[in-house]
Chain A
Amino acid sequence: MTFGSLIALSISAIFINNFVLSRFLGLCPFMGVSKKTETALGMGMAVIFVMTMSSALTWIIWTYFLLPGKSNVLYLLFHALGANVRPEQFDFSYLETIAFILVIATFVQLVEMIIQKSAPALYEALGIFLPLITTNCSVLGVAELNTMSMHLNFLESLVHGISAGIGFTIALLLMSGIRERLELADIPKPMQGLPIVFITAAIMSIAFLGFSGLKF
């Protein structure tokens, strides 16, 4: 793993496999909070933060608690206590969905409480978006991708988490800018609201398809 491969991973997550426009993750907030640029930015910042931290947390849980092997913490504990156990008995990888969602939900609650106490100004800006993030599928999605399908190491997971959040924020900001203009546009009545937003997203997605020609 080199610095170059981390840059490649990052650009791939931001542009080529943009979480919203090509992986279809996090569409609910993408449709829900993209009416104003200001709220879109707040949501984007909250998502970048939660995604980065939960990428790191879920990677640790996955590697040291759920995967079988000599580094499984429970194995080490039982081994130290003198029980007659083998590393492969500690395969909890089937619990991954439950473990990840609980870690994310707890972490989001914790962050909300800490920010509320220590940084009221930041809480004003991010506060209302934090509870929504638990059910933002891009957060659980990035955790699943890091561990189950892409098999990244710790540093790569962290970079992938930050980049995925940035990609989400870029898509959200672009969409909110367009929607502010759409407010003033003369749209046929049945097209107003979500239909025109989806069609706009389709055109944005075509534009992002252009990035898939990037090669490293």
Chain B
Amino acid sequence: MIKEFTKGILKENPVLVQALGLCPTLAVTSTAYNGIGMGIAVIFVLTMSNIIVSLIKKTVPSKIRIPIFITVIATFVTIVKLVMAAYTPALSKQLGIFIPLIVVNCIILGRAEAFASKNGVLASALDGLGMGIGFTLVLFVMGTIREILGSGTLTLGFPLLVNPFTINVLGNGYNPALLMILPPGGFLTLGILMWLKQLLLEK
């Protein structure tokens, strides 16, 4: 059981190993806090949809399973979207269209199809939680690197619990590498992270 939880964090990390969910990974990581916010939203949707899919797996006809899974996922995304708009409006504005786009995040449909539709409820919940945490970790690391290099600061916080606060990491004398928070910086950071992962795996 523990293995279902831990595999998503490093060994089968959804972003670095399976190359899924790339759009939000690159789009929302201009600050570390945005990365955490997106990660939490995905953890919720992924865990809940995995639980529901594993509960209904026997009653769903296999021919129309994909539209049904998508409807389940879209329901939870709508819940997240409305909750975020109500309680964390600033974050909701920052993430913009990438909140509704969690529906088409391939990690979620991928886990529903590859894992939850074949396994029990508890295993599916743990799998969703682990994959979600693995996804969040990558987003957090990406956000940290890009924000420190791109604006010299680090914004931390936890949605609903800890209000975001900004630390001036590199001091006022630092001339920010603006490119890192622009789109090319996202591609570059993820490319280098994937390269480092392959470098470490080779040994």
B-binding residues in A (CB < 8 A): 21-28, 31, 94-98, 100-102, 105-106, 134-137, 139-141, 144-145, 148-149, 189-199, 201-203, 205-206, 209
A101 touching B184, Cβ below 8 Å: no
A75 to chain B, nearest CB (A): 22
Chain A residues near B185 (CB, 8 Å)?
202
Task: Please report the C-alpha to C-alpha distance between residue A127 and residue B192 in the assembled complex, in whole angstroms.
Answer: 35
The proximity string for B residues 185-202 relative to A, scoring 1 for CB distances below 8 Å and 0 otherwise, is: 111101110110011001
Query: Among the listed stretches B4-12, B74-82, B150-158, which one makes contact with chain A, having 4 or more residues with CB under 8 Å of it?
Result: B74-82
Q: A95-B78, A205-B187 are in contact. Are A105 and B67 (CB under 8 A)?
A: yes
Asked if residues A201 and B109 are in contact (CB atoms below 8 Å), the reply is: no
Cα(A14)–Cα(B147), bound, Å: 28
In the complex, A148 Cα to B191 Cα: how many Å?
Answer: 32
A106 to B68, CA, bound (A): 12
Interchain CB contact under 8 A, A140 and B104 = yes
Chain A residue with Cβ nearest B179: A206
Q: How large is the interface on B (under 10, 10 to 19, 20 to 34, 35 or more residues)?
A: 35 or more
Choice from B71, B97, B191 contacting A202 with Cβ under 8 Å: B191
Chain B interface secondary structure, helix, strand, loop or mixed?
A: helix
Asked whether, in the complex, the Cβ of A98 is within 8 Å of the Cβ of B75, the reply is yes
CB distance from B53 to the nearest CB of A (A): 16
CA distance A197 to B195 in the complex (A): 11
Residues of A within 8 A of B105 (CB): 137
Asked if B101 CB lies within 8 Å of chain A CBs, one says: yes
Which of chain B's residues has its CB closest to A97's CB?
Answer: B100
**Docked pose: A106 CA to B70 CA in angstroms:** 11
Name the B residues within 8 Å of A203 (CB-CB). Answer: 184
Is A101's CB under 8 angstroms from B19's CB? Answer: no
* Complexed CA–CA distance, A93 and B150 (Å): 37
Question: B186 — which chain A residues lie within 8 A by C-beta?
Answer: 24, 202
User: What would 16 A/B residue contacts be, using CB atoms closer than 8 Å?
Assistant: A22-B183, A24-B27, A24-B183, A25-B23, A27-B22, A28-B20, A28-B106, A97-B103, A134-B70, A137-B105, A140-B100, A140-B101, A190-B195, A198-B194, A199-B188, A209-B184
The B157-203 residues at the A interface (CB cut-off 8 A) are 179, 182-188, 190-192, 194-195, 198-199, 202
Known: A195-B194, A198-B194. A21 touches B183 (CB 8 A): yes
Q: A91 vs B55: C-alpha distance in the bound complex, in angstroms? A: 32
A105 — which chain B residues lie within 8 A by C-beta? 66-67, 70
Chain B residues near A189 (CB, 8 Å)? 198, 202
B27 CB contacts on chain A under 8 angstroms: 23-25
Interchain CA distance A205-B100 in the complex, whole Å? 25
Residue contact A205 to B74, C-beta cutoff 8 Å: no
| Complex: A94 Cα to B75 Cα, angstroms | 11
Question: Can you name the residue of chain B whose Cβ is closest to the Cβ of A99?
Answer: B74
Within 8 A of A (CB), among B40-82: 66-67, 70-71, 74-75, 77-78, 81-82
**Pairwise interchain contact A101-B195, C-beta atoms closer than 8 A:** no
State the 3 A-B residue pairs at the shortest beta-carbon distance, nearest first.
A198-B191, A202-B187, A24-B27
Residues of B within 8 Å of A199, CB to CB, are: 187-188, 191-192
Query: Is B96 part of the contact surface with A, judged by Cβ < 8 Å?
Result: yes
Please determine whether A27 and B23 come into contact, CB atoms closer than 8 angstroms: yes
Q: Is B138 on the interface with A (CB-CB < 8 A)?
A: no
B149 within 8 A of A: no
* In the assembled complex, B26 has its CB within 8 A of some CB on chain A: yes
CB atoms of A195 and B198 under 8 A apart:
yes
Q: A28-B23, A98-B71, A203-B184 are in contact. Are A137 and B101 (CB under 8 A)?
A: yes
**5 more A-B contacts (CB under 8 A) besides A25-B23, A144-B101?**
A24-B24, A136-B104, A190-B198, A198-B188, A209-B182
CA A141 – CA B188 in complex, angstroms? 23
